[in-house]
Structure 1
């Protein structure tokens, strides 16, 4: 059987209410498995329960009910082993401003009980591009460098699973590219990556599989390719050699949109219309085609379609 990095069964979390507030059920009987060795996207709108799930996995929030198994260790039976198997890069920047990156990593390693002979502080600093800032105070680091340090801290105990909670929020393009290079490198070395992000194009590009949750429930879990294939709509973009002479007798259900540069975009349902039928109609209208391309819906459209009715 395929090894699972994470197994969640019947997970529930209810936050106690206050004097004027009813109890809040953040996670409602969630079942989820995450295969080892994958880059797995955990997506959902704000308030969907993603952060609660991550905090439960990290041992920061106590679940109300259900079972959580991390790298084969039941969280209730082997809490220390399950926590040691996972590293979390949080969304919020939280670090001692008077620690240097090297001191922060050494302290973090000590908290995890990593012997000095097994620490890899210099390698981590090099991996995240902080070698030249190893002795600088954290308070003097830029926002991007602080995010690199958060990633470094999550790696000190060599976890089998790395959780990235909105890792590129507010960072520049260069840092984002560097982060994804490092993530791919870690994944190629066997580390399982769990990614939450609101930049859905990142999830589309990076993730092997994706789970979408909303209101504490699993909406869908599938490969990225299969999720993208759920949207039947497609567009055929044509660049004519000359401006279109007039009306085009298009097949039923096909719409046309004029785009800059004289291009024409024809939107159609793949299960009802073939692209060749649209091209035949264009040629029949006396239009010579200079170039043609297709556009498929992205993960954002899939995400909206699955969560808008929840």
Structure 2
């Protein structure tokens, strides 16, 4: 399948650091895949996604998204959506007001937003809370509004950082089911998570990254079959990255 993201020898060393956060990363992410970027704390996942979203620049290397060079970051930002782990919402505004605001940042017209926002809220089970303030929402409800804020402009590629962290089982199922629908409709999804069972079920392709380098890339089935006696993605992950704790501050 054709690659929609091509990452070519990207390295990143932050100013003042005595090590590289990313070390010569090469990845090809297939079009319309659900691509899991998995790794322990401090492995380099967030740094790589921040580079692909144009938030920070690589020290070395380059990348393309949908044939657009990273030198043309404005054009790239028009075709990607970003859903951060931290809530990017204003607590004193309603869900509808938040989404109208974030849609305007992507230059989506008010007419289009007024038509689309109720549809998104219905899909994610929030239609009865449209005019409630975000500060009254549960964690799972905030996660779902956070997701909508990243897809109002119909991005070709959607970057998700831990989209189901800290939510209940029902919210997680609703989020994953809707992401699967978006993927079926043509959206490429790049996703980070520490939930190995979720990633095994959700992702079509996976790369495991640690210490700034890509260890392996393949389908969940291929990765499980590549490790003797492994029966799950979690067992593969532990085998490749070890059991040592990776606490970071």
TM-score computed with the length of structure 1 as normaliser:
0.75
Q: Give the CA deviation at 1:48.
A: 0.4
Q: Tell me what 2:232 maps to.
A: 298
1:5 matches 2:9: no
Segment of structure 1 superposing worse, 47-56 or 24-33: 24-33
| Number of equivalenced pairs | 242
- Native 8 Å contact 1:124 1:155 kept in 2: no
Question: CA separation in 2, counterparts of 1:128 and 1:57?
Answer: 27
Q: Tell me what 2:53 maps to.
A: 58
Question: CA separation in 1, counterparts of 2:59 and 2:93?
Answer: 36
Q: Give the CA deviation at 1:155.
A: 0.5
Question: CA separation in 1, counterparts of 2:54 and 2:46?
Answer: 12
Aligned counterparts, 1:116-131, within 5 A:
116-119=110-113, 120-131=116-127
Could you say what secondary structure the match of 1:15 adopts?
coil
Relative to its length, the structure with more strand (as a share) is: 1
Q: What is the CA deviation profile of residues 27-52 of structure 1, one whole-angstrom value per residue up to 9, with x for unaligned ones? A: 11111110011111110111000001
Q: Tell me what 2:180 maps to.
A: 184
1:81 matches 2:57: no
Q: Tell me what 1:35 maps to.
A: 30
Match of 1:94 among 80, 88, 96: 88
RMSD (Å), alpha carbons: 1.6
Could you say what secondary structure the match of 2:21 adopts?
strand
Question: CA separation in 1, counterparts of 2:106 and 2:60?
Answer: 27
Question: CA separation in 1, counterparts of 2:228 and 2:46?
Answer: 32
Relative to its length, the structure with more helix (as a share) is: 2
Question: CA separation in 2, counterparts of 1:209 and 1:222?
Answer: 5
TM-score computed with the length of structure 2 as normaliser:
0.92
Gaps of 5+ in 2: 245-249
Question: CA separation in 1, counterparts of 2:75 and 2:223?
Answer: 34
Q: Tell me what 2:64 maps to.
A: 69
Question: CA separation in 2, counterparts of 1:97 and 1:225?
Answer: 42
Q: Give the CA deviation at 1:116.
A: 2.7
Q: Tell me what 1:224 maps to.
A: 220
The runs of 4+ residues in structure 1 deviating greater than 3 Å are: none
Gaps of 5+ in 1: 234-295
